[in-house]
Amino acid sequence: EVQLVESGGGLVQAGGSLRLSCAASGFTFDDYAIGWFRQAPGKEREGVSCISSSDGSTYYADSVKGRFTISSDNAKNTLYLQMNSLKPDDTAVYYCAAAYLLSCSVWIRFPYSYYGMNYWGKGTLVTVSA
């Protein structure tokens, strides 16, 4: 059974940091794009960051570039998102996801790329107070 389990969300003040983790089981990261989406209340789900298992290249939404860092530990089948300089606009449920053979460029740039995901976690809530 495939599972993606996120952890690390919580309440933080603006300017603070959080580190999200996503533990995967039931599949390996080989041939998958893996990364993060987020969804704020009343808003569309958006791609935040993606890492390509083929070459380790990383992609970020413009809104988080320079503040968030995605990484993976393939030996542990775990994905991370280090979030620094958090803003109230970062408040959302953050979802870990995986897509077989999907381009990370599509993940970030195509508005409805979430339809292409093969696996989803249940999400972890990040709340940033002003």
Task: Kindly give, in sequence order, each residue whose CB lies less than 8 Å from that of residue 8, ignoring residues fewer than 6 positions away.
Answer: 18, 19, 20, 21, 124
Ranges in the chain, pLDDT < 70 = none
Distance between CA atoms of 38 and 93, rounded to whole angstroms? Answer: 5
Distance between CA atoms of 107 and 74, rounded to whole angstroms? Answer: 20
Q: Pick the closest to residue 45 from 101, 120, 103, 105 (CA basis).
A: 120
What is the pLDDT, as a whole number, of residue 74? 87
What is the pLDDT, as a whole number, of residue 111? 87
What is the pLDDT, as a whole number, of residue 28? 87
